[in-house]
């Protein structure tokens, strides 16, 4: 099995196949917690452990999948361009609320993790947790976190936000539909956005603005927020 997985094509085919099945599972069951990414990751880890295959062996093939992460993020420029008009209409309120959400997200996760005694590399991995995974992974690399941990936390956060986000916001008197859509995209990235899409395309559009803007803001600001916090807190 180990030598079989030395072949890059086998690894790619295996990953695509598992992902396809996981997607099918969610489409048929419609249960949010059966997130295809989460299921695929768990199945692959189980298989690698069961057949005693090193991660390094798997990674030799899977880096060909990894490779497409960056061009895929660049392609997000097209939906961003399409939303520009909507953003322009209420530029200040959108930008300020997204900025506030971005800063609140990084600061709060770092503070809570620090209070609970997490180590430096864990805290840095958590900092970009509200952002869509491809961006979060890149940010995590830039600030010295563990990209793999970031990726898993991001997915868990997204599922949590999609399931409980709207009830939390109603409870906390965030009632305005535009504010709800924006917050959802800001806090729960792509998973939250797909939940918003289910409610209505307008919610979805607002969420995707939140998703992209928070991605940009976190990528730009996270290193500096952490540097500022390092003055007060010893990680």
Partner 1 sequence: MLGIIRQAAIIFGCLAIGELIVYVTHVKLPSCIIGMLLLTFFLKMKWIKVSWVKDISKFFMKTLPFYFVPAGVAVMLYFDLILSSLWSILIAALGSTVVVLVVTGWVHQQMRSRSKKEVKTKNVAV
Q: Which of residues 109-128 bind partner 1 (CB under 8 A)?
A: 109, 112-113, 116-119, 121-122, 126
Min CB(36)–partner 1 separation in Å: 7
Site residues (CB under 8 A) for partner 1, limited to 122-181: 122, 126, 129-130, 133-135, 137-139, 141-143, 146-149, 151-153, 155-157, 160-161, 165, 168-169, 172, 174-176, 178-180
Site residues (CB under 8 A) for partner 1, limited to 67-86: 68-82, 84
Per rule CB under 8 A, is residue 216 in the interface with partner 1?
A: yes
Half-sphere exposure of 219 (CA within 13 A, CB side): 15
The answer to whether the Cα torsion of 55, 61, 63, 66 is positive or negative is negative
Min CB(149)–partner 1 separation in Å: 6
31-60 footprint of partner 1 as x/- string (CB under 8 A): -----xxx-xx--xx--xx-----x--xx-
- Residues 113, 117, 123, 128, Cα dihedral to 10°: -10
- DSSP class of 5: G
| Cβ(217)–Cβ(96) below 8 Å | no
Instruction: Identify the helix (H) or strand (E) that includes residue 123.
Output: helix 120-126
């Amino acid at each position: 099995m180990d030598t079989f997985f030395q072949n890059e094509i086998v690894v790619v085919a295996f990953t695509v196949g598992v992902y396809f099945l996981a997607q099918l599972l969610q489409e048929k069951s419609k249960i949010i917690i059966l997130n295809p990414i989460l299921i695929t990751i768990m199945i692959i880890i189980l298989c690698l452990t069961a057949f005693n295959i090193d991660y390094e062996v798997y990674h030799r093939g899977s880096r060909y999948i990894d490779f497409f992460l960056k061009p895929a993020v660049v392609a997000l420029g097209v939906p961003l361009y399409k939303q520009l008009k909507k953003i322009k209409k209420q530029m200040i309120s959108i930008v300020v609320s997204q900025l506030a959400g971005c800063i609140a997200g990084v600061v709060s996760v770092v503070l809570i993790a620090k209070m609970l005694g997490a180590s430096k590399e864990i805290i840095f991995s958590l900092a970009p947790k509200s952002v869509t995974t491809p961006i979060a992974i890149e940010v995590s690399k830039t600030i010295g976190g563990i990209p793999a941990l970031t990726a898993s936390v991001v997915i868990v956060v997204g599922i949590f936000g999609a399931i409980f986000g709207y009830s939390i916001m109603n409870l906390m008197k965030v009632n305005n539909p535009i504010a709800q859509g924006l917050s959802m995209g800001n806090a729960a990235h792509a998973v939250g956005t797909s939940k918003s899409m289910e409610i209505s395309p307008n919610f979805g559009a607002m969420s995707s603005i939140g998703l992209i803007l928070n991605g940009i803001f976190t990528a730009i600001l996270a290193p500096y927020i952490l540097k500022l916090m390092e003055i007060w807190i010893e990680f």
